[in-house]
Amino acid sequence: MGVTQPDVPGFNLATMTDAMLVRRVLDGDTAAFTTLVDRHAAACTRFATRMLGNREDAEDATQETFLRAYRSIARYEERQTFRTWLFQILINRCRTAAVRRQRRHRMFLVDDTAIAAASVRPAVDAGDLRAELKRAIDALDPDQREAFLLKHVEQLSYDEMAAATGVGVSALKMRVKRACDRMQWMLREGEASDVGT
Amino acid sequence: MSEPDDPRWLDDVAGELRREVPVRPAWRARLLDDVARAPKPSVRDIADDVFGDDEPALDRGRRRWSITVAPLTGLAAASLLVALGAGVMYVAMSSRAGADESQRAAHDGPSAASPQLVSRTPTATDREVVRFELSAPRASHVALVGSFNEWNPVATPLSRDPASGKWVVSLRLPPGRHVYAFVVDGDVTADPSAPRAADDDFGSPNSVVLVASPRT
């Protein structure tokens, strides 16, 4: 006689940990992946938007990230959080998108007038701190911007950042510090120029 | 927002950047549609393209590595591989035996706290019997999930102890730190009598049990 399975009630996906949801996905439960999307999509979209500077590229990178995560979810190992693993994929998608965009710009912005027009600082209202902040974050080197956002916006630990980026902890600390220094300088400069106008 | 010279400027900047970027419903629907059309993943799928072959070389030094064996050392390498293979098979067989044992739950008398180390007698697999219990008088089904059963909610059901009325199960666990939770009628809940895991994942918080190495 076969073993009788216990009478198991339906699971409340909302209360499951990410590791349990991953397990459910591997057992064929697509709804469990929907729960993972709903938990992490906002943070991923935010990071990609701040990283890439526009919504369309950010949505493409995030979409690709989730599809890759779904296809490769069997590779997820519980020794790191699902979020860190997901960010590992997202960071690479953002890096790729940034490189593609650079190539596009090199192809199309070839005349001096266009370059000059593109480099003109956008008109910023004195009170528009969000625009100032966006200008400052966009002006950071990509590796500094990435480290700053992971640390101070997504609030990953340095160990999680190291796992997600493949960069050593001390190098990441240096990048975050330089990003902070540069942001502070940029915001101070912005104030000075606003006063001067 | 505070001035850039104000020590609070970083908190203000980070707070502003943490503003949510709302997920557009149309974008979410398109993503879920693509997911539904994709082949279902399984533990047998180990795709190589998770991080993408077209990714830039920036900061990728730690992920991929390879070993090159000189031709003259081939014989030595083959011998080493045979020896390693034997070792891996031994470990796999031991682990399998331990897993089988862990599924044979032992139901002893009532205990005051959960989880409780029941036995410190070293076993052939160096595992300790740990008793988990939960007071949930209105529950109709309780299961234990954790790192030791791959968070499988059907692998380790608890039984109601007629003497105490509590839900109990005992498992043989290897020494180390184990993160776990109960599933009470489908809802995941932490063990109220155990420490919480510091690295809580999303969802309900988990609990932690530390199993010491058996005394020799």
User: In this predicted model, what pLDDT tens digit does every residue of A59-80 receive, in sequence order?
Assistant: 999 999 999 999 999 999 878 8
What is A124-197's CATH topology? Answer: Arc Repressor Mutant, subunit A (1.10.10)
Tell me which residue of A58, A64, A49 sits closest to B31, measured CA to CA: A64
| Position A17 pLDDT exceeds 70 | yes
What local confidence, expressed as pLDDT, does residue A16 receive? 86
| Position A36 pLDDT exceeds 90 | yes
- Under an 8 A CB cutoff, do B17 and A137 touch? yes
| Position B81 pLDDT exceeds 90 | no
Query: CATH classification of A11-111, choosing from 3.50.50.60, 3.40.50.2300, 1.10.1740.10, 1.10.3470.10?
Result: 1.10.1740.10
Interface predicted TM-score (ipTM): 0.80
Confirm or reject contact between B123 and chain A (CB < 8 A). Answer: no
Q: What residue in B sits closest to A129 (Cα-Cα)?
A: B1
Q: First-to-last CA distance in chain B?
A: 62
Listed in order, the ranges of chain A carrying CATH 1.10.10.10 are: 124-197
Query: Which residue do the tokens 């031994």 mark?
Result: B90
Write out residues 143-202 of B within 8 Å (CB-CB) of A. 143, 145, 147, 150-154, 157, 181, 183, 185-189, 199, 201-202
Q: How many structural domains are present in chain B?
A: 1
**Among the ranges given (A60-69, A76-85, B96-105), the one the predictor scored with the smallest mean pLDDT:** B96-105
Confirm or reject contact between B29 and chain A (CB < 8 A). Answer: no
A112-137 confidence digits (pLDDT tens)? 444 444 444 444 454 467 788 888 99
Q: What residue in A sits closest to B198 (Cα-Cα)?
A: A81
B70 domain residue, yes or no: no
B36 domain residue, yes or no: no
Q: Using an 8 Å Cβ cutoff, are B214 and A38 in contact?
A: no
Task: Give the closest of B32, B41, B58 to A74, CB-based.
Answer: B41
B97 domain residue, yes or no: no
pLDDT band at A2 (very low <50, low <70, confident <90, very high): very low
Q: Domain of B166: which CATH number?
A: 2.60.40.10
pLDDT band at A38 (very low <50, low <70, confident <90, very high): very high
What local confidence, expressed as pLDDT, does residue B2 receive? 61
B160 domain residue, yes or no: yes
- Under an 8 A CB cutoff, do B21 and A49 touch? yes
What local confidence, expressed as pLDDT, does residue B152 receive? 81
Q: Which domain holds residue B145?
A: 116-211
Residue B196 DSSP symbol: B
Confirm or reject contact between B91 and chain A (CB < 8 A). Answer: no
What local confidence, expressed as pLDDT, does residue B123 receive? 46
Tell me which residue of B175, B171, B181, B176 sits closest to B100, measured CA to CA: B171
| Position B133 pLDDT exceeds 50 | yes
B63 domain residue, yes or no: no
| Position B53 pLDDT exceeds 90 | no
What local confidence, expressed as pLDDT, does residue B125 receive? 58
B138 domain residue, yes or no: yes
B188 domain residue, yes or no: yes
Please tell me the distance in Å from A68's CA to the nearest CA on chain B. 6
Question: In b/e form, how buried is each residue of B80-101, taking b as 16+ CB within 10 angstroms?
Answer: eeeeeeeeeeeeeeeeeebeeb
Q: Using an 8 Å Cβ cutoff, are B173 and B197 in contact?
A: no
- Under an 8 A CB cutoff, do A129 and B143 touch? no
E strand or H helix at B172: strand B167-173
More confident residue, B114 or A190: A190
Confirm or reject contact between B57 and chain A (CB < 8 A). Answer: no
What local confidence, expressed as pLDDT, does residue B70 receive? 41
| Position B106 pLDDT exceeds 80 | no
Residue B153: CB partners within 8 Å, gap ≥ 6? A8, A11, A20, B143, B145, B183
Percentages of chain B per state (helix, strand, coil), in multiples of 5: 25, 20, 55
Beta sheet of B128-134, edge-to-edge order: B116-119, B128-134, B167-173, B159-160
B171 domain residue, yes or no: yes
What local confidence, expressed as pLDDT, does residue A49 receive? 95
Q: Using an 8 Å Cβ cutoff, are B210 and B177 in contact?
A: yes
